Amino acid sequence: MQEFAPPPTPETAGAAVRPGEETSFAQMLEQFESENAAAGPAVGERRTGHIVNLREDVALVDIGAKAEGVLPLELWREHGPGTDLTPGLAIEVVVEGRDPEGSFKLSPYSPDHPRNLEDAKLAFEQGLILRGKVTGVIKGGLTVDVGMRGFLPQSKSGVRDPGEAHKLVGQEIRCRIARAPEEKNLVLDRRSVLEEEQRAEQRQTLEKIAEGDTVTGTVKSLATYGAFVDIGGLDALLHISDLSWTRLEAPEQALTLGQTLEVKVLKLDRGKRRISVGVKQLTPDPWANVVEQFAVGARVRGTVKRTSNFGAFVEIAPGIEGLIHISEMSWSRRVRKPEDAVQLGETVEAVVLGVSPKERRISLGLKQALGDPWADAETRYAEGTVVEGRVRNLQQFGAFLELAEGVDGMVHIGDIAPERLQHPSAALKVGDTVRAKVLEIDVAKRRLRLGMKQLIPTPLEAFLQAHAVGEELSGRVTKAYPGRVQLDEGIEAACPSAAAPVRVLEEGTLAAKLAAVWKKPVETAPEPTGVQLKPGEVRKFRITRIEPERSKIEVEPA
């Protein structure tokens, strides 16, 4: 190798340079630069450098090379160990290449960002968690830049739905190397890191929360019975009954997936990691002053929210429902199902019948809001009163008449007509309007016994309506003494003035002979003391007395 010519001295400065010497100088300069470049650090090489100077956005670092390295401050803040840079500080850096000016481009060295196979092996052995950026989706998983190009299998990505994997592209993730690195084969695992972080977060959450605490959570999933809320890595059950004071049919009526909400810790089992939370417990209990708000007898309005086979539930205030039992829906109609009287969503007026705050129950009455039709029934339907009603129902034993809304009366089959009936339908049909007489009333049991045949005049009543005292009419004597006179078909009258018959003993009869033995005089006909009547005779009589209540008529011969 040719020796490098020393720089000219003053003594030789004016001497001429020979052509062969100029060629040798150029060759040696090129050789020097080549050797100097070969001696510089390679791309990806890790070096210890010292801060030489700090500029506005970069730090100049001496890495033991002919040229200084340039470290962007933004990279140091983002990926560095968190220490402040000061002149003279020793730091670990990685050579990324050279810039156009010949300076080395540097980045902070971090164990979680390996740049070569050696760093990757060390990170695997130490189980370090790496930081990387997802760069793309390929068959079976994702590509990730962790300082080196790595492969993240779908099964280790931590994404349950393969169709959602593409959402990670462009995001920075935390992962570790799954198995010993090989050249161009770096397999990563994100799922185990997520699970470890979740367990750590769960432990921290369990340590700091207690029953009664209010915490912030995110709705993670919905079910028919409630929702699961993520509170610090733990899934807490929010039962549908603890979601709102108002009854809900499904949690979707109040919640959406991903929704953030405040919840109260109701139950906590640290051993089993079970947590129950509630939302309604963060608001006042509407049942706290229900007795003062809804006194017995008060009239209320509400909306029919739901029905069952025994009644309808009416919301009379937010979070407060009352039950209208099927028996409290109508005074008169037989309600077989709630829909016969009310409909879902309908606004109804009712009366509070009972309040039980402890059991959170309110009994309501629909029919009571209409007024009790039996309140004055004892006066309106006194015994003997003639009423009018519509035939509502026919049974084998009688008929039911609707006298007014909520007031029914029963006519026994024996009180429908004077003649004997086999069934009420022989004389009545549903819908007929008929008149009847009140025979008996029981307000306590809400019962009325009616009679229809009692309004049909008897022969005696018809006769009494057609005749009066003093009237003369023909009659036939049916009995001489005491006197009985038939005035009409089935009508008989008494004749008080009828004289008793006189008994005369005829001579020669046994009675006369006995009377002679006993020395009794033979009876002779006495003077009559009244009117002698003969059975079967027809004559004129005058009505002298009528007593309808005793069905009694008296006559005297005219």
Rounded percentage of the chain residues whose pLDDT exceeds 90: 51
User: In the prediction, which pLDDT does 520 show?
Assistant: 53
Question: What pLDDT is recorded for position 326?
Answer: 93
Reported as a pLDDT band with limits 50, 70 and 90, residue 1 is very low
pLDDT surpassing 70 at residue 500: yes
The pLDDT mean for the chain works out to: 85
pLDDT at position 31 over 70: no
pLDDT-based confidence at 502, cuts 50/70/90?
A: low
Q: d(Cα 461, Cα 554) in Å, to the nearest integer?
A: 15
Task: Note the pLDDT of residue 34.
Answer: 53
Q: Categorize the per-residue pLDDT at 3 as very low, low, confident or very high, splitting at 50, 70 and 90.
A: very low
Query: Residue 532 — pLDDT band, cuts 50, 70, 90?
Result: confident
Cα–Cα distance, 125 to 114 (Å, whole number): 13
Mean pLDDT to the nearest integer, 442-465? 88
130: β partners:
175
Higher pLDDT, 355 or 46: 355
> How far apart, in whole angstroms, are the C-alpha atoms of residue 262 and residue 177?
38
Average pLDDT over residues 352-367: 93
pLDDT of residue 10: 42
pLDDT of residue 438: 95
**Residue 338: pLDDT above 80?**
yes
pLDDT at 224: 92
Task: Look at residue 440 and tell me whether its pLDDT is greater than 70.
Answer: yes
Question: Per-residue pLDDT averaged across 184-188, rounded?
Answer: 87
Q: What is the pLDDT of residue 325?
A: 95
Percentage above 70 pLDDT, the chain: 88
Taking only the tens place, the pLDDT of each residue in 142-152 is: 999 988 899 99
Question: How large is the average pLDDT for residues 466-489?
Answer: 91
Average pLDDT for 103-120 = 84
Task: Measure the CA–CA gap between 337 and 354, rounded to whole angstroms.
Answer: 22
Q: Which residue has the higher pLDDT, 498 or 36?
A: 498
Residue 236: exposure state from Cβ atoms within 10 A (0-12, 13-18, ≥19) = buried
Structural domains for the chain: 1-35 (no CATH), 46-108 (2.40.50.140), 117-195 (2.40.50.140), 209-282 (2.40.50.140), 290-368 (2.40.50.140), 377-455 (2.40.50.140), 459-557 (2.40.50.140)
pLDDT value for 271: 85
- Give the pair of three-digit tokens for residue 255: 């919640």
Burial 273-289 (b: 16+ CB within 10 A, else e): eebbbbbbbeeeebbee
Give the dihedral sign, CA 165/169/171/175: positive
Q: Over 50: is that where the pLDDT of 83 sits?
A: yes
Q: Which of 12-21, 132-141, 168-177, 335-344 has the lowest mean pLDDT?
A: 12-21
Tokens of 346: 């309908």
Higher-pLDDT residue of 282 and 548 is 282
